[in-house]
Structure 1
Amino acid sequence: MQRRCRRLSRFFIRRILLALLQVFIIATIVFSIIHVMPGDPALLALGTERQQDPAAVAEMRHKLGIDRPLIEQYTTWLRNISKFDFGNSLFNNEPIKNYLAQRLPRTLELAIISTIIAVFIGIVSGVIAALRRGSAIDVGVTTLTALGISLPVYVLGTLFILIFCINLKWLPASGFVKFSQDPAGHILRLILPSLTLAFGMSASIARMTRSSLLETLNKEYIQTLRAKGLSKKAVIFKHALRNALIPVITIIGLQFGNLMGGTVLVEYLFNWPGLSTLLVEAVSHRDYPLAQGCIIAIASLFIFSNMIVDLLYGFLDPRVR
């Protein structure tokens, strides 16, 4: 038991260190890309009226720290982001961490709710399709999964708006209301974007669950359990499904990470002010520090979600450790 715990601890430590290394590499790449992009942040921060004043430009470059050697800028930036200090926005001098603290929970809420819906629908439909292999239910689930994987989110979101908002008038088309101000209004505005994101994710989960469970049910140890007289329900839900869900967990983690960066179209379509739309606004306005903060936040969440999946994978499957 102690030996197993030591192996598990070493595996967890290695995976956490690897995640930190990945964040460091992403931060380095982001810093490099931003600094080779055209445009002078000092000119953008000053505005059109003061751009012709050399003294004002030099003062702003000194304030932003871009007049120092590149390596010094890099080390200072790494030290600051390690303390969650991403600097200030170029346009209103607002601390970037305030933007992230405001927008990140909204994107996380949308991604988590979508993932919960997708996991429930995907696993249930995948199990039913596997147990009814070749039936009309299996064909229907397979068809819907193919449709969910191939249908773009902006097309699906537009269809949802046409059906549930314009024709049936059941739900609001777009907008955002804080939960503290109007709980019912907040939930109603969360339904359609969550379903839009969950549809494609549930399709991938359902397909993986079906194929993995079918493969597991054909294993020799499953046949042995059946030959010993174990009930079909116990064989499926106590033994087969647990092992079949191991690759499904990987798909869930990867899909959740993709949701963090793939909510741009959904947030824009439903006017949901999250982190992805903040990144688009920062890039369109050439607000380099704000764009850096958004990219680092999204990439870190993606890496963190993959790390959690790997830890769960190692906990469930000793072969990974």
Structure 2
Amino acid sequence: MLLFIVRRLGAGALLLFLIATATFLLLNLTGQDPARQIVGQAASAAQAAAKRQELGLDRPVLVRYGEWISRIGQGDLGTSWFNNQPVTALLAQAVPVTLSVVLGAMLVTSVLGALLGVLAAVRGGAVDKVLQVLSSLIQAIPSFLVSLVLVLVLAVQLGVLPATGYVSFTNSPSGWLSSIVLPVVSLALGAIASVAMQIRGSMLDVLQYDYVRTLRSRGLPTRSVLFRHALRNASPPAVTTLALMFIIMISGAVVVEKVFNIPGVGTQANIAAGQGDLPVVLGVVLLTVTMVVIVNLLLDLAQGWLNPKVRVA
């Protein structure tokens, strides 16, 4: 298992290096002039040239790339070109905000997706058909539209939740919870439908196995048979879906955070991309790829724990 983890970490490090290299080169070969955007269109050519020299943009791309990679190896992501703050500090402030929303959405997705999937597989009939129809409808609705509807109904009309803004957990646990409810629901709705349908299909297969009939014949409670034995064997495909949903939620956070005015990684990425703040954009890319690598590693470990055949392989 240790060798497996080391191999996966090595592959993840290589992936991170390749994506970082490709992103750096693509962003620096677009032909745009960040120095002109920083000093403004009214500035003189001399002022733009001075800013370009200050940022090091007058040097060859490969030279800048080598310096950037060497700083990355030391844990230095550079400094924002627009507010002169370290990129690591900006991301350190934004990551807890995004993770609180994404992990909250993952928790809601896991619990409700499993319960609805098991319910549809066991009950069947009208319950199963209703779940399938609702899942198809929910997955067809864009997350930004769900966000706007939630804001209009729950925040504007009913006033039960704040429409925008974020409160940190350290300042007010209750305020933090109320500020992330709508973003969590916006991200989780489509994922719940996907996971529920995955669980439903797997449970329908597992419930036909001989060991399930044996457990029932021995008088085990239905709840124990379903959630302790059958659900574990039906969960590997759903775990894979959950990992994919996490990655999708990280990208979906860009839209959701903008709608709800949440100062997370998505908001930082939006602002940096609009300004042409390359150090921040590169920092967000590196952070996102690192998250994907970690999630894929955790997925493999979870699959090995749930499925002994995978563990042996």
TM over 0.5: yes
Q: How does 1:38-187 map to 2 (within 5 A)?
A: 38-48=31-41, 50-53=43-46, 57=48, 59-134=50-125, 136-187=126-177
Q: What is the CA–CA distance in structure 2 between the aligned matches of 1:177 and 1:227, rounded to whole Å?
A: 49
Question: Is contact 2:236-2:306 (8 Å) kept?
Answer: yes
Unpaired runs of at least 5, structure 2 = none
Q: Tell me, what secondary structure is at the counterpart of 1:319? A: helix
Q: Residues 82 and 216 from structure 1, CA distance in 2 versus in 1: closer, same or farther, beyond 3 angstroms?
A: farther
Of 193, 196, 202, which aligns to 1:212?
Answer: 202
Q: What residue in structure 2 maps to residue 319 of structure 1?
A: 309
User: Does 2:33 match 1:26?
Assistant: no
User: Does 2:244 match 1:254?
Assistant: yes
Q: What residue in structure 2 maps to residue 4 of structure 1?
A: none
Q: What residue in structure 1 maps to residue 3 of structure 2?
A: 10
Q: CA deviation at 1:145?
A: 1.6
Q: What residue in structure 2 maps to residue 269 of structure 1?
A: 259
Q: What is the CA–CA distance in structure 1 between the aligned matches of 2:100 and 2:107, rounded to whole Å?
A: 11
Q: What is the CA–CA distance in structure 2 between the aligned matches of 1:266 and 1:146, rounded to whole Å?
A: 21
Q: Look up the equivalent residue of 2:110 and give its one-letter code.
A: V
Q: What is the CA–CA distance in structure 1 between the aligned matches of 2:155 and 2:62, rounded to whole Å?
A: 53
Report percent identity of matched pairs. 33
Question: Is contact 2:146-2:186 (8 Å) kept?
Answer: yes
Question: Is contact 1:15-1:311 (8 Å) kept?
Answer: no
Q: Structure 1-normalised TM-score?
A: 0.88
Q: Deviation digits for residues 22-57 of structure 1, max 9, x if unmatched? A: 11121111112111112223333444465421xx55
Q: Tell me, what secondary structure is at the counterpart of 1:200? A: helix
Q: Tell me, what secondary structure is at the counterpart of 1:176? A: coil
Unpaired runs of at least 5, structure 1 = 1-7
After alignment, is 292-301 or 214-223 more displaced?
214-223
Q: CA deviation at 1:306?
A: 1.9
- What is the aligned-residue RMSD (CA, Å)? 2.1
Question: Is contact 2:28-2:61 (8 Å) kept?
Answer: no
Q: Look up the equivalent residue of 2:287 and give its one-letter code.
A: A
Q: Look up the equivalent residue of 2:281 and give its one-letter code.
A: A
Q: CA deviation at 1:67?
A: 3.6
Q: What is the CA–CA distance in structure 2 between the aligned matches of 1:131 and 1:61, rounded to whole Å?
A: 65
Q: CA deviation at 1:17?
A: 1.5
Q: What is the CA–CA distance in structure 2 between the aligned matches of 1:313 and 1:25, rounded to whole Å?
A: 27
Question: Is contact 2:144-2:256 (8 Å) kept?
Answer: yes
Question: Is contact 1:257-1:306 (8 Å) kept?
Answer: no
After alignment, is 204-213 or 138-147 more displaced?
138-147
Q: What is the CA–CA distance in structure 2 between the aligned matches of 1:204 and 1:139, rounded to whole Å?
A: 15
Q: Deviation digits for residues 201-256 of structure 1, max 9, x if unmatched? A: 11111111111111122234445x35863636344333321111111111111111
After alignment, is 145-154 or 203-212 more displaced?
145-154
Q: What is the CA–CA distance in structure 2 between the aligned matches of 1:288 and 1:59, rounded to whole Å?
A: 18
Q: CA deviation at 1:58?
A: 5.2
Q: Residues 9 and 318 from structure 1, CA distance in 2 versus in 1: closer, same or farther, beyond 3 angstroms?
A: farther
Q: What is the CA–CA distance in structure 2 between the aligned matches of 1:187 and 1:14, rounded to whole Å?
A: 39
Q: Tell me, what secondary structure is at the counterpart of 1:244? A: helix
Q: Look up the equivalent residue of 1:247 and give its one-letter code.
A: P
Q: Look up the equivalent residue of 1:311 and give its one-letter code.
A: L
Q: Structure 2-normalised TM-score?
A: 0.91
Q: CA deviation at 1:274?
A: 0.9
Q: What is the CA–CA distance in structure 1 between the aligned matches of 2:294 and 2:273, rounded to whole Å?
A: 24
